[in-house]
A and B are shown apart, each in its own frame.
Chain A
Amino acid sequence: MTGAETMLRVEGLDVLGAGATLVRGMELALTAGERVALIGESGCGKSLSALALLGLLPEGLTASGSIRLVGVEHDLVGAGERQMSAIRGRRIAMVFQEPMTALNPTMRIGRQVAEAFRIHGRVRGRRAAQAAAIELLERVRLPEPGRIAGAYPHELSGGQRQRVVLAIALSNRPAVLVCDEPTTALDVTVQAQMLGLITDSVTETNAALLFITHDLAVAATACRRVLVMYGGRVVEAGPVRVVLSRPRHPYTLGLVAASDLEPLASRPGRRTRLTTIAGTVPAFGDRATGCAFRTRCPSASSVCETDPAWSQTGDRGVACWHPVRAASDD
């Protein structure tokens, strides 16, 4: 994507806590308008990576490495609170997973949205901010935005609340939008609408999107590129359709097989049981050096006890000593 500006560049990001390395050596680059999915099971460190980007890691966890954001002179890693609060909500914003508890129950919606404008000074004055808030609520396709602005969170459904959270995140047209499982807690019928809204919004503002999910179908629908995480490391990366149809890493292969992406009916006579990946995700801190997946990998051997190096070919990359080879591989 020549000509597109790099919005976010992450290099060597580690997240350490309680004597264990929870995220190791994460690398990521997002260009304007690009939509990247970060997939993996619970406990693989994807949410922690996202929180590290915003400097909102929980107590006791620290990040090291480098995070550079467009328009910001300093590295986000190690930045002070004053610097970070100027950046959050302005240059990078986040939508969290649980919409039911994301909003202050004792404050009206309009005020909570308007606050996002006023914090960074993009709109001054209460009335102007309120008007801008109502307009924004309309753009996230909420019906009767004026009424909703005067309502309290408990009067809205989960889907509506999540749109409000999205509105707040987009209010200052950030360069990067991070969404951590934004549709997981929503009804299935609402999920598709929400996905469409998110992708349309980032297209319109030309923001970069980092979309965290454990749902491969959602990743395939919403994003162009995907990063697969396991045990705190990115194990595979590349264009989403290619990675999911011809995975190189054994874990990705297992994920795809287990996620039922192809309708069972299209493969008559084939297995009708869900495949699973044997074993369980290791708990934080249980990981010694070496490939974290080797305990569950059918292709593991003694060389896997050393950290696999990242091998990049074209726009795909994988960290594995025994990548899967398919006949039609590039």
Chain B
Amino acid sequence: MLARVLLRTGVFLAGVFVASIVIFTVLRVLPGDPAQVALGVDATPEGLAQARAEFGTDRPLPTQYLSWAEGLLHGDFGRSYLSRSAIGPQIADRLQVTGWLVASSIVVALLLAVPLATFAAMWHRTGRGALLAGLSQVGVAVPAFIAGVLLVDLFAVRLRWLPSGGWVAPDKDPAGFIRRLILPVLSLGLIQGAVLSRYIRSAVLDVLDQDYLRTARAKGLRPYQAMVRHGLRNVGIPVVTVLGLQVASLLVSGIVVERVFVIPGLGSLLLDSVANRDLLVLQDVVMVLVFAVLTINFLVDVAYAALDPRLRRSS
């Protein structure tokens, strides 16, 4: 078990390392000069040279990479080539916002998916089950940002019940914070919930088929009791795996949803940096996002072993 954890940790760290190289390489292959971009068309040679020295782009590429990587390890994300402001604090702020959005969406998604999927599995040969399966198909087909736009159309514009976007810090205005959170979280959560429910339904059907549930019933447990006491943990295993797989897609949907609702999260930082060719910011944000995905996959791996005793090798 220990060996397995060490191996997975090694793989994780190697993955982070390789990812950082890939990100650095792709963005540095740019046929252009960050200094030029920053200073504009009428830059003087001296100004360019000075800018290059400041950015560190006059050094050979491997050195630049190493200094970037080293900075990251210390929490120093550098300074934007365009605004000269420190990137780290920006990322921290935005990360908080995106964190709220993503975490709430996952909660909503699970709250929706687990009951929906369980009922869909229990009724899977009936009309009710087919209806639920159909609903989840539609849910899967509607991308989260489209759901967001439609929700804005209905609830913000027509009915005027909720604001159409924006962001307020929770400590400044709790009520406003929650009101602004509802629609974006619903868009992400409902769609993710539909996707999750399909996997969960499959997992539940698998478990319902298992012999040990029959043994449980032969003991005298009623179907519902048997499912809860013996089925849930076994369903949990594939569900946790799916959650891990969905993280990347959730982050991406989140980026677009942030644009729909004008939420100042990591996603909009990413998009702004692309629009402005603010390279270092882009580099850092992509690194943070990829790191988040890799970390969550790693945690899922570990959780998997914790949930399933068959994966632990006892002495």
* A170 to B216 Cα, complex, angstroms: 14
Q: Does B218 contact A56, Cβ atoms closer than 8 Å?
A: yes
Are B310 and A105 closer than 8 Å at their CB atoms? Answer: yes
A215 is an interface residue with CB less than 8 A from chain B: no
- Interface check A309, CB cutoff 8 A: no
Known A96-B211, A96-B214, A101-B210: A106·B234 in contact at CB below 8 Å: yes
Contact, CB under 8 Å: A105 / B219: no
- Residues of chain A with a CB closer than 8 A to B216's CB: 104
Judged by a CB distance under 8 angstroms, whether A88 is at the interface is yes
Q: Which 9 interchain pairs have the tightest Cβ spacing?
A: A89-B220, A101-B211, A89-B219, A104-B212, A152-B309, A88-B220, A119-B220, A106-B233, A104-B230
- Give the residues in chain B near A104, CB-CB below 8 Å: 212, 215-216, 230, 234
Bound form: Cα–Cα A86–B233 in Å: 25
Distance between A224 CB and nearest chain B CB, rounded to angstroms: 25
CB of A106 within 8 A of CB of B307, answer yes
A106 to B223, CA, bound (A): 18
Q: Mark B204-234, 1 if CB is under 8 A from A, else 0.
A: 0000001110111111111100000110011
Chain A interfacial positions (CB closer than 8 Å to B): 54, 56, 59, 81-82, 85-90, 93-94, 96, 98, 101-107, 115-116, 119-120, 152, 154-155, 165, 168-169
Select the residue from A81, A119, A169 with max chain B CB neighbours within 10 A.
A119
Bound-state CA distance A32–B301 (Å) is 53
> Would B212 and A102 count as touching, CB distance under 8 A?
yes
Let me know if B308 and A119 touch, CB within 8 A: no
Chain A positions within 8 Å of B233 at CB level: 106-107
For B, the interface residue count at a CB cutoff of 8 angstroms equals 24
Looking at chain B's contact residues, the main secondary structure is helix
Cβ contacts A to B, 9 pairs, < 8 Å: A59-B125, A85-B222, A86-B220, A103-B212, A105-B310, A106-B233, A106-B237, A106-B308, A168-B215
- Chain B hits for A106, CB < 8 A: 233-234, 237, 307-309
What's the Cα separation between A101 and B212 when bound, in Å? Answer: 6
Q: Which residue of chain A has the shortest Cβ distance to B229 in the bound complex? A: A115
Q: Which of B215, B229, B237, B309 lies in contact with A102, CB distance below 8 A?
A: B215
User: Whose C-beta in chain B lies nearest to the C-beta of A99?
Assistant: B211
CB neighbours of B125 from chain A (8 A): 59
A101 to B237 Cα, complex, angstroms: 17
Query: Measured between C-beta atoms, what is the minimum distance from A28 to chain B in Å?
Result: 19
Q: Shortest CB–CB separation between residue B315 and chain A, in angstroms? A: 12
The residue on A at minimum CB distance from B314 is: A155
B222: contacting residue among A56, A81, A93, A155, CB under 8 A: A81
B309–A105 touching, CB < 8 Å: yes
Task: With both chains docked as a complex, state the minimum distance between the C-beta of B122 and any C-beta of chain A, in angstroms.
Answer: 11
Please determine whether A96 and B234 come into contact, CB atoms closer than 8 angstroms.
no
Cα of A59 to Cα of B216 in the assembled complex, Å: 17
Residue-wise interface mask of B (287-315) relative to A, using a CB-CB cutoff of 8 A (1 in contact, 0 not):
00000000000000000000111100010
CA distance A85 to B225 in the complex (A): 11
Do residues B215 and A85 form an inter-chain contact, with CB atoms below 8 A? no
- CB contact between B310 and one of A86, A103, A119, A154 (< 8 Å): that residue: A154
Residues of A within 8 A of B308 (CB): 105-106
Q: Which of chain B's residues have a CB closer than 8 A to the CB of A87?
A: 220
Could you tell me if A88 and B309 are in contact, using CB atoms closer than 8 angstroms? no
Inter-subunit contact A82/B222 (CB<8 Å): yes
Out of B214, B221, B237, name the residue touching A85 (CB < 8 Å).
Answer: B221
Q: Which residue of B lies closest to A86 (CB)?
A: B220
Closest to B231 in A: A104
Contact, CB under 8 Å: B214 / A56: yes
Residues of A within 8 A of B218 (CB): 54, 56, 88-89, 93-94, 96, 169
Interface string of B224-264 (1 = CB under 8 A from A): 00000110011001000000000000000000000000000
Cβ contact within 8 Å between A119 and B221: yes
Question: How far in angstroms is the closest Cβ of chain B from A182?
Answer: 13
Complex interface: chain B residues within 8 A of A116 (CB): 219-220
Min Cβ gap A179→B in Å is: 12
Interface string of B24-45 (1 = CB under 8 A from A): 0000000000000000000000
Q: A152 contacts which of B210, B215, B222, B310 (Cβ < 8 Å)? A: B310
Residue of B210, B222, B223 with most chain A CB atoms under a 10 A cut-off: B222
Inter-chain contacts of B210 with A (CB < 8 A): 101
Are the CB atoms of B220 and A81 closer together than 8 Å?
A: no
Give the Cβ gap from B214 to chain A, nearest Cβ, in Å: 7
Residue of B nearest to A88 (CB): B220
Measured CB to CB, the nearest residue on chain B to A107 is B230
Q: Which residue of A lies closest to B223 (CB)?
A: A81
Q: From B236, which residue of chain A is reached at the shortest CB distance?
A: A106
Residue of A nearest to B216 (CB): A104
Q: Using CB atoms, name the residue of chain A closest to B312.
A: A152
> How far is A34 from B113 in the complex, measured between Cα atoms in Å?
51
- Report if A85-B220 is in contact (Cβ < 8 Å); known contacts: A152-B310, A154-B309, A154-B310: yes
Bound state CA distance, A257 and B216, in angstroms? 40
- How far apart sit A101 and B217, CA to CA, in the bound complex (Å)? 14
Query: Which residues of A have CB within 8 Å of B217?
Result: 56, 85, 88
Q: When the two chains form their complex, are residues B220 and A90 in contact, meaning their CB atoms are under 8 A apart?
A: yes
CA–CA, A115 and B4, complex, Å: 33
A85 to B233, alpha carbons, bound, how many Å? 22
Contact in complex: A102, B223 (CB < 8 Å): no
Interface-centre pick from B220, B233, B309 (highest chain A CB count, 10 A)? B220
Chain A residues with Cβ below 8 Å from B229 are: 115
Q: Output the nearest chain A residue to B220 by Cβ-Cβ distance.
A: A89
CA distance A155 to B312 in the complex (A): 11
Query: Which residues of the other chain, A, contact B310 by a CB distance below 8 angstroms?
Result: 105, 152, 154
